[in-house]
Structure 1
Amino acid sequence: MNIGDRIKKARLQRGLTLIEVAEKLGKTEATIQRYESGNIKNLKNDTIEELANVLNVSPAHLMGWDTPITPNNIISFAPATVQIPILGKIACGDPITAEENLTGYRYESPDNLPSGHLFYLQAKGDSMEPTIPNGSYVLIREQPEVENGEIAAVLVNGDTEATLKRVKKQAETVFLMPDNPRHEPYVISSDNPARIIGKAIRYTQDL
């Protein structure tokens, strides 16, 4: 927008006609029309100030000096995020990330994520403290097995609830071990079935 455009815009915003502006300045209608066409060679500072007063704007506004200049060679990059589901209780027979199991989402930068199918579980209770604090969000990569001693998300109670425990294997027996010694281990058996659904990668906490 040039100075002529700004003069015209300010005049129209105040509801003034060319004649009214001309009379206030002691100019002719043709002169104001010439200003608005951008033909303002040798326009004196006093005239710019008087014109600004009539139009109720600042001289800097008319000259365009108060308009920030935006470089046209800058490319804006919006940070990409990945939506990762937070799971609550698992509905028996449903896929893990079925809508019925979701309690919300967390958003992560893809640069910080491992490969694979990911979801979050929120730690409830202190059985994995101090390793995993109560209330923290634990990032899980879906996989059916983990190495001995790794922390896993495990389905218990008839595949209806997910818990976080350290998996320990001794011969043919698999234990789900809490890191907090005040809690008892869970021994997987035909009477106490369990199923690993993923490996714990890391946890985060909201302040």
Structure 2
Amino acid sequence: MDIRKYTSTKIKEYRKQRGLTQKELGDLVGVKHNTISGYENGTNEPEQDILFKIASALHISINELFPETKSSFQINKNFISNNGINFSKRVGVQIPILGSVIAGTPISAIEDILGYEEITPELASTGTFFCLKVKGNSMEPRLFEDDIIVVKQQPDIESGDVAVVLVNGDEATVKQIKKADNGITLIGYNVAVYPPTFYSNEAIINLPVTIIGKVIELRRPF
């Protein structure tokens, strides 16, 4: 099988599935749109580090860009080993760690990227994910400043969930959400710093108060 042709076809296929133009994918990866065009038509072959960036931007495992052959498997394994990344049969999907989330900006377009975390391909296939670095101490002792949380992007959550929320267009805040018929309450576990704040249904619309996603996991260095 022609590995280059397979990879170029897959880059184009997954780019279209994500609804990205060549320019948008190029901006996420850090290359020009005509470079992406070259990757997709097979005239240029991306380096392994670029392949990882493409896979991350498309929310897929890098293995999805290669046919299931011994040779392509070995190429990926060698690159991962040489760069100090743990390898266990299939590479996880890298998602960005964001320093902030601003109202009106698509997650995929945010440039304040502090690094990357890895989630399983199985989890990645269930939606769009990103990580956020916690600021402040309003959620102590459950979350501490500089903790990394994994967030599933979604516009609504269940009452009692911990969510990333935008209030009045400011940067995102992480709070537990309690729902009621007449509004929602944002709860910080450290009530001395952040007493529970209620927003009526009218305030939710007018401020607005916008749920960005549900916190599903905490990543904290030992």
Distance 1:151 1:110, change over 3 A: same
Q: Distance in 2 between matches of 1:97 and 1:156?
A: 20
Residue of structure 2 equivalent to 1:194 = 209
Match of residue 153, structure 1, among 133, 146, 164: 164
| C-alpha distance 103-156 of structure 1, shift in aligned 2 (>3 A) | farther
Structure 1 contact 91–100 (Cα < 8 Å) conserved: no
What's the counterpart of residue 109 of structure 2? 98
Q: CA deviation at 1:131?
A: 1.8
Cα deviation digits, residues 129-161 of structure 1 (max 9, x gap): 222232210100011111011100111241x41
Pair 180,91 (structure 1): closer, same or farther in 2 beyond 3 Å: closer
CA RMSD after TM alignment: 2.4
Residue 110 (structure 1) shift: 3.2
- Of residues 181, 185, 191, the one that matches 1:181 is 191
CA distance in 1, matches of 2:160, 2:110: 31
CA distance in 2, matches of 1:156, 1:88: 17
Report the TM-score when normalising by structure 1: 0.56
Q: Residue 163 of structure 1 aligns with which residue?
A: 173
Aligned to 1:135: 146
Identity %: 38
Return the index of the structure with the highest Cα Rg: 1
Moved beyond 4 Å, runs of 4+: 111-114
List alignment gaps of at least 5 residues for structure 2.
1-72, 78-86
Matched pairs, number? 132
Aligned to 1:126: 137
Change (3 A) 1:102 1:186: farther
Per the normalisation by structure 2, the TM-score is 0.52
Q: Is the 8 A contact 1:87 1:97 kept in 2?
A: no
- The structural deviation recorded for 1:198 is 0.5
Letter of the 1:134 partner, please give it.
Answer: E
Could you list the per-position Cα deviations for residues 82-132 of structure 1 after superposition, in whole angstroms to 9, with x for gaps in the alignment? 110112233442212313343332234436667210000111122112222
- Which is richer in helix? 2
